[in-house]
Structures are given as structure tokens and as C-alpha cells.
Amino acid sequence: MNTPPAIAFDAVEQVFTGNDGAPIHALSDLTFSVARHEFVSVLGPSGCGKSTLLRLVAGLIAPTGGSVSIFGYPVKEPRDEIGIVFQKPTLLPWYSVINNVTFPMRHKYGRVESKDRARALELLDLVGLADFADKRIDELSGGMQQRVGIARALLLDPDILLMDEPFSALDALTRDEMSFELLRIWRDRPKTVLFITHSIPDALLLSDRILVMSERPGCIREEIKVPFERPRTLETLGDPEFTRLANHIRNRLFSKPVAA
Amino acid sequence: MTNLYDRTTTMSLRQQVLRLLDRFTPALAFVVLIGLWEISTRVFSIPSFLLPAPSRIIADGFAVAASTWAGHIWATMRVALIGYLLAIAIGIPLAVGLAKSRFLARTLYPALIIIQSTPIVAVAPIIVVTLGAGDLPRIVITFLITFFPIVVSTTTGLLATPEELIELSRSLRAGTRREVMQVRLPYALPYIFSALKISTTLAVIGAVVAEFVAADKGLGFFISFSTSFFKIPQAFAGLVFLVILSMLLFRTVGFLQKRFAPWSLPKNER
Ligand SMILES: Nc1ncnc2c1ncn2[C@@H]1O[C@H](COP(=O)(O)OP(=O)(O)O)[C@@H](O)[C@H]1O
Ligand SMILES: [Mg+2]
């Protein structure tokens, strides 16, 4: 009675053709899996293929080698089980906040029913924006816009939430606040989360497990199980083990691979 | 205390005057310019066939019957509007095709560049000969002049949609139609509106050029007819109506944008 993992990569290769026609080897022999309702962060240098990895899970591109599967099924096209939060909020300025949250319904099915609106309001409440439903997008701060993006990604109640450096465009204070917000949201609505980030503290604070990637072509250099008890708080940040792990990861990120 | 009170009221009075001045500066500048024009034509006794005085233009303008004016204005406006609307109706769907299909882009773009590189003014006589009398050749000429900026701007706007939004659309498997209608086109609206504004002026130019070539009605016809009889002040009066017509069309598009798509305007213009 083995339930298949939520996300599984098996020897995935990804080769792009660059503008000059030369092949770009983005991902190489990438193998990992994420269990249902697990929170996994991916850390790695810029250009190592993190966004590519996420697009593969989303079914937006197909791997050039190996296989990607979701709940045991190979990914062939985008699926409803997945919600995506992008680096920039990428909201639609011609819609109000609530209409941005219900956008997946309008876009996928061509109409929004009152129960969808009710659900959107509930989600806005969850991300702390209950009073902003009828505001215009440009009336919101960057952090608030990203919360709307999270609410939108949750509208179709996906099992898997993909987040591509969602807080990297925010200032440091807002970023910390958003991290704790995300922890709270994840506790209220357990999801499988694949969280791509540049921030070692964010990864340590949020995740059950961290995948550290190598430079391009990206593969998993190390897998780190994060030992801290939940719920995690500001105290977690002060734990000596937190500092030790952060240093360890930093060293892993910056050291060159032993053999090329 | 009373002193302070006095000071604040005078301050606000001064501010009020300044604000009024600021508000009416454009109108004031306009009036001054017309005044200078009037004075210099009198002082230097410039003959009216070189540069008629504003008063003379107004007088000669009124000498023409209102119904005659209405007929000419309507003829030009009709051609300009039909050509313009046709350019929108064909230009925007074509832009969608160009943005979505590499095949269309590769086959049609060269043809479009050739049309754009052709001076329409030079082709106008040929079009008139080919398409005969009536509104049709004039509408075609107007269409050809207005059409290109609309296609180019719309295509640019459609392709400027952020990649993430397109991925969001694809991740929902919404289909190309909804991707275009609900994401790309709204995103292109600022581009589309700026082209629509430029094209209003071009539409009037197109209609007038066509009337220069062949017409028995319209403001362009009226101007060329008046000048051929050396009725220069009357030609100027026709020009005034053309400017008003152009501005009216431009303003109407601006109003529609503000009314129906305020978010597509820069923040200080909403
Ligand atoms: N569609 C594509 N075509 C060509 N090259 C691509 C494409 N997508 C990504 N790449 C290349 O693959 C590498 C990894 O990109 P990406 O996954 O965006 O990295 P990261 O998100 O880790 O910064 C980069 O060198 C990038 O230029
Ligand atoms: Mg990236």
C-alpha cells in the first residue's frame, strides 16, 4: 500500500536550444520526490534551472529526458491539481482584487458563480485582505499584491502549490512577514508545496526538506532534512542549530563541485 | 491672532489666483497668439491672400451658408470615420493573427511594410482611377493611412504581455481564444489606445488628401476649391473646421479610454 509521491522526478534531463542554436543543458539527471503535504524548498544559484524544474512540474514544458510524475501519473499537460505563485504578482490591473482571485474560474470556464466569489472572499480573508476585495490592484502594496497572487493560486483548491521566488521582489521586512503568513496559510490549508527561493533563512524556516542544487546543469547536490519542531516562530530563527544549518548550506552553495 | 488670520486668507487668495492662472494659461496663450496675429496683419498690412487676419477669416467663414458648411464637414467626417473604423475592425484582428501565428507574421509582415513604405498620397490618384467615383476610393485611402499604426501598436502590445501571465493562462488550459480575449488584448489596450489616438489625426489627413484628388464635397475639396479662386480667408476658415474635427475625434477617443479603461492610462491622467 505505497501511495505514490505528490511529485516525482526520475533522471530528468532538460536541454534547451539557445538563441545561437547551441544547446543549453539546464537540468541533468535530476531525481527527487516530494511527499503529499510536504513543504520542500529548492535553493540554488541563479540560472541553475530552478524555474525550469517548476515549469516541468506545472506541465508547461516537457522534459527532454527522464520522467516527471504527479501522484504517480506522468505529467503530459498542465493539470488542475497545481496552483502557481510567480516571482512578480502578475495580477491583471483591469480587474478588482476579488476579480483577480476569481480569474482562474473566469479564464478556465468562462464564468464566475456566486459560490466562486464566496470562496474567493474566504481566501482573501485567509491571506488577510478581507477588506480589500473591491480595491483596484494599483491601490495595493507589493506584499499585498503577492498575497492576492497566493489567494488566486488557491482558488481551484490545488493539491500542489508551486512558488517561484515569490517574496524576492519584496523588501526584507515584508518578506519576513510574508514567510510567517505562508506558514500560517499552510497550517490552515495543508498543501504539497514546492518553494523556490534564494533565501536560506526562508528555506530553513518554512520547509520540511531543502534541496540544494548545483550550478548549471542543475542537479541535487544535497538534501537537507530540517529538524525544527512546528509551529515555527521567531524563536526558531535564534536556534543555534538554525545558524549552523544556514552556514552549512551557504558553504554547499558556494563550493565548486569536486569533480566536474 | 487677527494678523495671522489675515495672512492665511491673503495667502490662500494668492494661491487661488495662481491656480486660476495656471488653469487658464493655455486658453490665455491662445487668445494672445490670435491677438498678435490680428495686430501684425494690420500693422504690417499683410495682404489677405498671404495671411488673412483672424477677423477676416471669421467674417468670410460666416459668409458661407451654415448648410454648406454642414455638408462639407459631414462629407469629410463620414469618410474619415468609416475609414478609421474599418482600419480598427481589420487592423486589430490582423494584429492578433500576426502575434499568434508565425506563419501569418512571416507572410503578411513584408506586405504590410511595403504598404507602409508607399507614400499613400502618391497612390491616391491611382486608387481614385481604379475605384471610381463615390466614397469608396476616399474610404480606402483613409483606411490605408490609419491602418498601419493600429496593426503595429496592437501587435507590439499583444507580444508585450508578461510571460508569467501567459503561463498562468496555459496552466489553466484556457485555450487560445480566452488567452487573447482575457489576457493579451486587455494587456495591449494602452498600446491600442495610443495608436487609436494618433490614427484619428491620420484619418482626417487621409480623407482630406483623398478629397484633394477627387471630390465634389468635403473640407479638403472646399479648401482646394477656395484657393483656386484665391479665396484664401475662406480656405483658412475651412482649415479651422478641419482642426476642430481632428481635435474632436482625438478627444472622443481619449474620453472613451478614460471612461472604459482608466487603468490603461498613466496614473496622473486618470
Ligand atoms: N525556454 C528556454 N529556452 C532557452 N533557454 C532557456 C529556456 N528556459 C530557461 N533557459 C535557460 O536554462 C537555464 C536555467 O534557467 P532557469 O530555470 O530560469 O534558472 P533559475 O530559475 O534557476 O534562475 C538558464 O541558463 C536559462 O537561460
Ligand atoms: Mg528563476
Distance A85 CA to ligand 1 centre (A): 18
Cα–Cα distance measured from residue B234 to residue B69, given in angstroms and rounded to the nearest whole number: 11
Contact by Cβ (8 Å): B61, B219: no
- Is A94 close to B261, i.e. CB distance below 8 A? yes
Contact by Cβ (8 Å): A32, A9: yes
Chain B nearest-CA distance from A89, in A, is 9
pLDDT of residue A17: 93
Q: Is B229 on the interface with A (CB under 8 A)?
A: no
Atom 2 (ligand 1) nearest CA: A16
- Is B261 close to A59, i.e. CB distance below 8 A? no
User: Which residues in chain A come in under a pLDDT of 50?
Assistant: 258-260
Count of Cβ atoms closer than 10 Å to residue A229 Cβ: 8
* Phi, then psi, of B64 in degrees rounded to 5: -85, 135
Whole-prediction pTM: 0.86
Residue of chain B whose Cα is closest to the Cα of A55: B167
The cell for B47 is: 495682404
| Ligand 1 atom index nearest CA of A54 | 17
Q: Report in angstroms the alpha-carbon separations of A67 from A78, A196, B170.
A: 15, 20, 21
Interface of B with A in 179-218 (CB under 8 A): 182-183, 186, 189
- Is B173 close to A77, i.e. CB distance below 8 A? yes
- Is B172 close to A107, i.e. CB distance below 8 A? yes
The model's pLDDT over A183-212, given as tens digits with 9 standing for 90+, comes to 998 998 899 999 999 899 999 999 999 999
Q: Where are the domains of chain A?
A: 91-157
Cα–Cα distance measured from residue B169 to residue B228, given in angstroms and rounded to the nearest whole number: 61
Ligand sitting nearest the alpha carbon of A44: 1
Closest CA to A216 of A20, A106, A52, A94: A52
- Is B165 close to A90, i.e. CB distance below 8 A? yes
Cα–Cα distance measured from residue A61 to residue A65, given in angstroms and rounded to the nearest whole number: 12
Closest CA to A183 of A158, A205, A209: A205
Residue of chain B whose Cα is closest to the Cα of A56: B171
Residue of chain B whose Cα is closest to the Cα of A88: B164
User: Which residues in chain B come in under a pLDDT of 50?
Assistant: 1-2
pLDDT of residue B1: 46
pLDDT of residue B8: 54
Contact by Cβ (8 Å): B138, B83: yes
pLDDT of residue B6: 54
Distance B155 CA to ligand 2 centre (A): 27
Cα–Cα distance measured from residue B31 to residue B171, given in angstroms and rounded to the nearest whole number: 59
Closest CA to B64 of B73, B54, B52: B73
Task: Give the relative orientation of helices B66-100 and B102-117 as an angle to the nearest 10 degrees.
Answer: 140
pLDDT of residue B7: 56
pLDDT of residue B162: 93
Q: Is B168 on the interface with A (CB under 8 A)?
A: yes
Residue of chain A whose Cα is closest to the Cα of B171: A78
Sheet of strand A65-70: strand arrangement: A23-34, A7-17, A65-70, A73-74
Chain B hits for A136, Cβ within 8 Å = 263
Cα–Cα distance measured from residue A30 to residue A66, given in angstroms and rounded to the nearest whole number: 8
Distance A27 CA to ligand 1 centre (A): 9
* Phi, then psi, of A23 in degrees rounded to 5: -70, 140
Chain B nearest-CA distance from A78, in A, is 5
Rounded to two decimals, the ipTM of the complex is 0.90
Atom 16 (ligand 1) nearest CA: A49
